[in-house]
Amino acid sequence: MDYAKENKALILFDAAYEAFIRDETLPKSIYEVEGAREVAIEFRSFSKNAGFTGTRCAYTVVPKECAAFDSKGGKQLIHPLWNRRHCTKFNGVSYPVQRAAEAVYSDEGKAQTQELVAGYLKNADLIASEIKNLGYDFVGGNNSPYIWIEGKRDSWEFFDMLLDKAGVVCTPGAGFGKCGEGYIRLSAFNSYENVKTAMARIKDALA
Ligand SMILES: *Cc1c(COP(=O)(O)O)cnc(C)c1O
């Protein structure tokens, strides 16, 4: 927040994976950090907690006091600009999808999405422990549905090998830019049974 204020920067915070945070010392929203309302915009999504990927429904938090600075150094409030932009260019979310988003906040919806997320975290645990047993360094799997593995080789080479030998599709780290080179990402978004099968195949492929 201090950096943003000193440098007149705007923070764009993507909270897509907020539902996966279990560590209570980690913030789930940037607005838990003091001063964030003046310098930060937060993106919220239903894609990962409620399986909304592709339905095009999400929301953006733009606090009324949030400001950015124009090329002349003039302070501009973002809220009215965003409102203008949205009223002019956005035609809305289809009604059935809106009703589905509403259901995410019902008691039943909350229970179901929590169960879903807990299941993905259980998958992530299994992936992480199997990868650890195979002697690979990794990050993630905690507070996150992804496991980043240091592949000890080119990330596309690792991708091809897993596809050919294990029939498993991963995400090559190089696709995220040069810092991802050498890594691959495994996702926990599947059934526990499928994750078990995939990990058994990966084990054979890497043996
Ligand atoms: C999936 C994902 C989103 C979700 O975007 P939607 O448009 O709501 O589907 C946003 N950010 C990240 C990093 C994601 O992985």
**Distance from the alpha carbon of residue 48 to the mean position of ligand 1, in angstroms:** 7
pLDDT tens by residue, 147-176: 999 999 999 999 999 999 999 999 999 999
Residues 61 and 78 in one domain: yes
Choose the final residue of a domain: 72, 105, 138. Answer: 105
- Residue whose CA lies nearest to ligand 1 atom number 11: 16
The answer, yes or no, to whether residue 146 has pLDDT greater than 90, is yes
pLDDT tens by residue, 184-201: 999 999 999 999 999 999
Number of separate domains in the chain: 2
**Distance from the alpha carbon of residue 16 to the mean position of ligand 1, in angstroms:** 5
- Residue whose CA lies nearest to ligand 1 atom number 14: 16
Choose the final residue of a domain: 69, 90, 105. Answer: 105
The per-residue pLDDT for 89 is 95
**Distance from the alpha carbon of residue 7 to the mean position of ligand 1, in angstroms:** 27
Residues 170 and 134 in one domain: yes
- Percent of the chain scoring above 90 in pLDDT: 97
Residues 98 and 139 in one domain: no
The answer, yes or no, to whether residue 207 has pLDDT greater than 90, is no
Residues 19 and 99 in one domain: yes
Residues 72 and 8 in one domain: yes
Which residue range(s) make up the domain with 84? 2-105
Q: Which numbered atom of ligand 1 lies nearest the CA of 52? A: 9
Residues 27 and 98 in one domain: yes
Residues 70 and 32 in one domain: yes
Q: Which numbered atom of ligand 1 lies nearest the CA of 57? A: 8
Number of CB atoms found within 10 A of residue 91's CB? 5
Cα-Cα-Cα-Cα torsion 96, 98, 103, 104, nearest 10 degrees, comes to 130
Residues 17 and 75 in one domain: yes
Closest CA to 149 of 137, 157, 163: 137
Closest CA to 180 of 200, 154, 161, 157: 154
Choose the final residue of a domain: 51, 86, 105. Answer: 105
